[in-house]
Amino acid sequence: MSILLTEKTRILVQGITGSEGSFHAQQMIQYNTAAPVVAGVTPGKGGQKVMDNVPVFNTVEQAVKETGANASVIFVPPAFATDAILEAADAGLALVVCITEGIPALDMVKVYNAIKNTKTQLIGPNCPGVISPGIGKMGIMPAFIHKPGKVGVISRSGTLTYEAVSQLTARNIGQSTCIGIGGDPVIGTRFIDALEFFKNDDNTEAVVMIGEIGGTAEEEAAAWIKENFDKPVVSFIAGQTAPPGRRMGHAGAIISGGQGTAAEKMKVLAAAGIHVCKSPAEIGATVEKALQGEE
């Protein structure tokens, strides 16, 4: 069973006429079996049809009214992305996935505060998106490496998500839903939020949690898991050799004041009973052992 992206999801693509939006929307259309792409939104381009039969609207509100869309994936430049998120939330969409990277953290603070009391669940920004194998995807991940199953994946890193999924699939371990939460300092869905979704999904039997240096999200998740989560969790922390004070790829992956190191995070995770991998190459084998009840 999937979470967030399900058979009831009807997707619109904000920025569908741009190069990134059109390319990935086409990939989504080809893969999605139960969660169709029903509309696109590009201001000023309303009235067109793209990819044979997907109608384009000027506003999200129009798209929702005409097509019944209830989820959006955003492929627009950073300067317009925050307005796109707010427009989707104002239209009442239940799920919004923002792929855009480079959004200023201060802008995201304003967005976070504006939507936190709405029904909209934001994934991202600066993320690969969400995929429920066998149902559909909203994002940029390579769908062919995924396999339907019962292991959830939550990750701050897109490429490490793909590595983990590839290892799981190679061992014939399928995934329920894979969520790239993004590597920015301010994001819509945290580890704890995603873990709670998986906790309430009876068909998710284990979770892979991929973190990075910087911040305290992994430590907070470890404390929550220890108190609230009874399914096996396998974790890997990226950036184990990163020097303090230097940002490594993601805006949120920076060690400051001696906090947020990989060693510190790994210690806290292990103390919470989580299976911690020292290398990303160990993720698949560790999940297999965890599912079999091995230490």
User: What pLDDT, in 10s, does the model give residues 51-81?
Assistant: 989 999 999 999 999 999 999 999 999 999 9
Q: Are 45 and 181 in a shared domain? A: no
Residue 179 counted as domain residue: yes
Domains of the chain: total: 2
Read off the tokens for 178.
């894979």
Are 108 and 213 in a shared domain? no
**Residue entry with tokens 């009214």:** 65
Same domain for 292 and 151: yes
Contact 251, 185 (CB under 8 A): yes
Residue 107 lies in a domain: yes
* 211 and 105 belong to one structural domain: no
- 73 and 153 co-located in one domain: no
Q: Which amino acid is at 22?
A: S
pLDDT of residue 261: 83
Q: What is the CATH number of the domain that holds 222?
A: 3.40.50.261
Contact indicator for 135, 35 with CB cutoff of 8 Å: yes
| Whether residue 290 is found in the same domain as residue 156 | yes
Give the span between the Cα atoms of 211 and 253, in whole angstroms. 9
Residue 15 forms part of a structural domain: yes
- What is the model's pLDDT at position 23? 98
pLDDT at 215: 85
Q: Give me the pLDDT at residue 59, please.
A: 98
Residues 225-266 pLDDT 10s: 999 999 999 999 998 766 665 555 555 445 454 557 888 999
β 233-238/206-212 pair status: parallel
Looking at 126, 157, 184, which one is the last position of a domain? 126
Beta-strand pair 54-57/49-50: antiparallel
Q: Is 63 in the same domain as 173?
A: no
Average pLDDT taken over every residue of the chain: 93
Cα–Cα dist 246/255, whole Å: 7
Helix boundaries (H) for the chain: 19-31, 60-67, 78-90, 105-115, 158-170, 191-199, 217-228, 262-271, 283-291
pLDDT at 276: 98
Position 251 in a domain: yes
Residue 2's pLDDT band (cuts 50, 70, 90): confident
Residues 82 and 162 in one domain: no
pTM over 0.85: yes
In this structure, which amino acid lies at residue 15? G
Task: Report in angstroms the alpha-carbon separations of 172 from 79, 242, 284.
Answer: 42, 33, 10
pLDDT, one tens digit per residue, over 81-127 is 999 999 999 999 999 999 999 999 999 999 999 999 999 999 999 99
Q: What is the pLDDT of residue 253?
A: 46
Which three-class secondary structure state does DSSP give residue 14? strand
**DSSP assignment string, 178-246:** EEE--SSSS-SS-HHHHHHHHHT-TT--EEEEEEESSSSHHHHHHHHHHHH--S-EEEEEE-TTPPTT-
Asked whether residue 243 is domain-assigned, the answer is yes
Tell me, what's the pLDDT at 259?
57
Q: What is the pLDDT of residues 151-193, one digit of tens each?
A: 999 999 999 999 999 999 999 999 999 999 998 999 999 999 9
Active-site residue, selected from the candidate residues 24, 146, 250, 275: 250
Maximal C-alpha separation, the chain: 58
Do 103 and 45 belong to one domain? yes
Residue 60 lies in a domain: yes
Together in a domain, 21 and 78? yes
Q: Is 292 found in the same domain as 156?
A: yes
Candidates 188, 186, 250, 160; CA nearest to 178 is 160
The pLDDT, as a whole number, for residue 182 is: 95
State which residues form the domain around 70.
1-126
Same-domain pairing of 187 and 62? no
Quick one: pLDDT band at residue 10, thresholds 50, 70, 90? very high
Asked whether residue 135 is domain-assigned, the answer is no
Whether residue 7 has pLDDT greater than 90:
yes
Query: Do residues 149 and 175 touch, judged by C-beta distance below 8 A?
Result: yes
| Burial (Cβ within 10 Å: 0-12, 13-18, ≥19) of residue 154 | buried
CATH of the domain at 58: 3.40.50.720
HSE-CB of 289 using CA atoms within 13 angstroms: 12
In-domain check, residue 134: no
Does residue 275 have an active-site annotation? no
Of the pLDDT bands very low, low, confident and very high (cuts 50, 70, 90), residue 26 is very high
